[in-house]
Structure 1
Amino acid sequence: MQPWISSTIDQFNAMPDWLRIGTAVIVAATTALLLHRLFYHMLERWLRATERIAWLMILRKTKGPTGLAVVLFFVISTLRLMPIGGLIAEVLIRTAQLSLIALLTWVTIVTTDIFGLVYLRRFRLGSQDDLTARKQLTQVRILKRAAMTVIAVIGIGAMLMSFDAFRQYGVSLFASAGVAGLAIGLAARPLLSNLIAGIQIAITQPIRIQDVVVVEGEYGTVEEITSTYVVVRLWDWRRMVLPLSYFIEKPFENWSRESSSLIGAVTFSVDYSVDVDAIRAKLEQLVADNARWDKQVVNLQVTDAAQDTIQLRALVSAPNASASWDLRCDVREQLIAFVRSEMPDSLPRVRQQILPQVGPGETQLAPVPA
């Protein structure tokens, strides 16, 4: 057995360099794939038995990248152990190192994304008051994207630092962190400000996913929060894109900060002769029959008295901004129709009286005080 092994080694050493390198790479890759396949099936069976859903999803999503990473690791180790040199070996080792770092970065990003998705599975959006779900969704999405950005930067940095030239430049840059460091800081200011603003928004949460906001005089809903900008879906389906730093540095309105419920107001003017109690009773009947009312607030008040008319204000509550808008429109339309049909004399009008004649054949008109 020993002479056969020695003969095989001698024959292998007698091969040309390219053939030895190719044979070694094929053997190392085959061995790595077999070991990875065996370990994968064993780990998958154990995760199924223990019902670890998150880790099972990570294992399946990263099956290809981890297999390639294992192959690269075996290939790098084999090439380093072989008595070969020259440009070919250096290029192969360098390429395999960079690929391994890229794959590990990819696996880490995928793992972070899956952990975020598994955590958010316990929350459901779409309920009447999904404040907790929107809070968690906003936090996880922003922090997950910030973490992915940091992981990607670390991975790119590790790939660059594997080159001696970049490593020496980095050491000299840190040693003379003066004007160069200031220039890099100024150049990266927009990116860093948005990244810091994203972390602030995730922690303090001035806005959340599906919050109803008024920005730049426009009414809309927060549709998406990325690591650098926020997408607001306006009422007419347009999209307004704003940087994250906008919501830290500038004032804006958030109509669903603590709760999605809102109180809407409907104002209209009527004559002094109107029966306020009858309109109040009609308002209560209308909102009771309207499915958009959340059965919390309904009220009618006289809020102003002008020379010719009085102003009535109806307050009604709804579970969210969209329902509040529709409920206000329904109440306004139906109350106007009620006054027009049941109290036509109470519609706004201008009174006049005829004064005594001031001259032969002349009369003078003047408004009558309300």
Structure 2
Amino acid sequence: MGVQSPADWPILVIAVIGSILLVELGRRVLNRVGRKWALAQHLVEHCTWPAFTVAAVVAFNLVFGPGMLGDSASERGLAGSIERVLGLVTIGAVTWLIIQATYALTDVVLDRLVLVEGERNRRARRIMTQIALVRRIAAAVIIVVALGAMLFSFPQVRALGAGLLASAGIAGAVVGIAAQPTIGNVLAGLQLAFSDALRLDDVVVVEEEWGRIEELTLTYVVLRLWDERRLVLPVSYFTQNPFENWTRHGSRVLAVVYLRVDWSVPVPKVREALYEFLQGNPLWDQKDWTLQVTDVLANGLVELRALMSAADSPSSWDLKCDVREFLVNYVRDNYPDALPRFRVETPETRVGLSWTRDRE
């Protein structure tokens, strides 16, 4: 029941200020509790401004009455318009608060999943991807419901409801045809998230570009490339085109380094040195490693392949660089005769003469 006298404006101001102070008190309490309670911290981060807005608007809406602007027809008409606007703002503010509270609740779960490492990391990233998409869908649904509530708060819109429902079939078909690409992307996003084909932080190779999945929405995917560039692709791309996923079944990655050297290289010695180096390198996960002669090249060199495992793709890249540098230095410093060289046969060498003999 609204206040009916213009003299009651101070009561309205006091009510608004009091509601804001009440929210501020709650914020301070949650801020103090948030040092030990993660949910309180996220509520403060997400819900402070929405809560201030809801408190002020609701207090204003409860106290404001049609007679506060006067008793004339025009003043009452203006007051009615203000009440209608306040109703719309209230719906919008409450919707904002609900969405932000939903994000605060899910952030608590996401924070815990980020800390998961090892073999459980793949499952944690799958859940993170699904939560991120589901809360976007929930936010979109809440916004649509709020817009519907705003529209149906107008008597004219309610009167047109029957006519709109009668033409809903034709309108739905037209909208469906026009929005077919968007709807396809949304369905593709849901398919990727719940089929576990793609997850946040997955390492993928797309269009010959290597990077990590930084953001996965209902309509597009953001790939953070190794050089910090961003490649943005529609979600439907990943359902219609092949791509490499290096962390599909786990975050471990095998690193491979090739070395082309002369036949005189002592492979067992190089293998022992590599193993000793890996034991002292923190990037190696202490699991897989090997050094093999994998090919004899047409140019007279032999190909050595060093293979070792790492916990994830960034560690794999750094480990490959470290191993490559170590092998180059080791062969150069200890077995210089095994460095890559090309042999040329001349008439002199064919008959046993040295090609370095001085000619007079």
- TM category (shorter chain) comes to 0.7 to 0.9
Q: Shift of residue 313 of structure 1? A: 1.2
Q: Shift of residue 227 of structure 1? A: 4.4
Q: Shift of residue 189 of structure 1? A: 3.4
For the Cα contact (< 8 Å) 2:291–2:306, is it kept in 1? Answer: yes
1:349 equivalent in alignment to 2:342: yes
1:144 equivalent in alignment to 2:100: no
Partner of 1:266: 257
Q: Shift of residue 190 of structure 1? A: 4.1
Q: 1:74 aligns with which of 62, 76, 80?
A: 62
Q: Shift of residue 356 of structure 1? A: 11
Cα 1:117–1:23 shift into 2, 3 Å? farther
Range moving further from structure 2, 215-224 or 191-200? 191-200
1:182 equivalent in alignment to 2:173: yes
Matches within 5 A, 1:29-108: 54=39, 58=43, 61=48, 63-75=51-63, 78-79=65-66, 87-108=77-98
Partner of 1:334: 326
Matches within 5 A, 1:359-370: none
Task: Tell me the amino acid that sits aligned with residue 323 of structure 1.
Answer: S
Report the TM-score, using the length of structure 1 for normalisation.
0.75
For the Cα contact (< 8 Å) 1:222–1:231, is it kept in 2? Answer: yes
Partner of 1:195: 186
**Secondary structure at 2:214's aligned position in 1?**
strand
1:242 equivalent in alignment to 2:233: yes
Q: Shift of residue 276 of structure 1? A: 2.0
For the Cα contact (< 8 Å) 1:206–1:247, is it kept in 2? Answer: no
Q: Shift of residue 151 of structure 1? A: 1.2
Larger radius of gyration: 1
* Root mean square deviation, CA, Å: 3.9
Task: Tell me the amino acid that sits aligned with residue 329 of structure 1.
Answer: C
Q: Shift of residue 100 of structure 1? A: 1.8
For the Cα contact (< 8 Å) 2:42–2:108, is it kept in 1? Answer: no
Cα 1:24–1:198 shift into 2, 3 Å? farther
Report the TM-score, using the length of structure 2 for normalisation.
0.77
**Secondary structure at 1:214's aligned position in 2?**
strand
Distance 1:356 1:246 in 2: 61
**Secondary structure at 1:240's aligned position in 2?**
strand
For the Cα contact (< 8 Å) 1:142–1:226, is it kept in 2? Answer: yes
Q: Shift of residue 299 of structure 1? A: 0.5
Q: 2:154 aligns with which of 156, 159, 163?
A: 163
**Secondary structure at 2:293's aligned position in 1?**
strand
Task: Tell me the amino acid that sits aligned with residue 337 of structure 1.
Answer: N
Partner of 2:358: none
For the Cα contact (< 8 Å) 2:122–2:250, is it kept in 1? Answer: yes
1:112 equivalent in alignment to 2:105: no
Q: 2:312 aligns with which of 311, 316, 320?
A: 320
For the Cα contact (< 8 Å) 1:173–1:181, is it kept in 2? Answer: no
How many residue pairs match? The answer is: 337
**Secondary structure at 1:265's aligned position in 2?**
strand
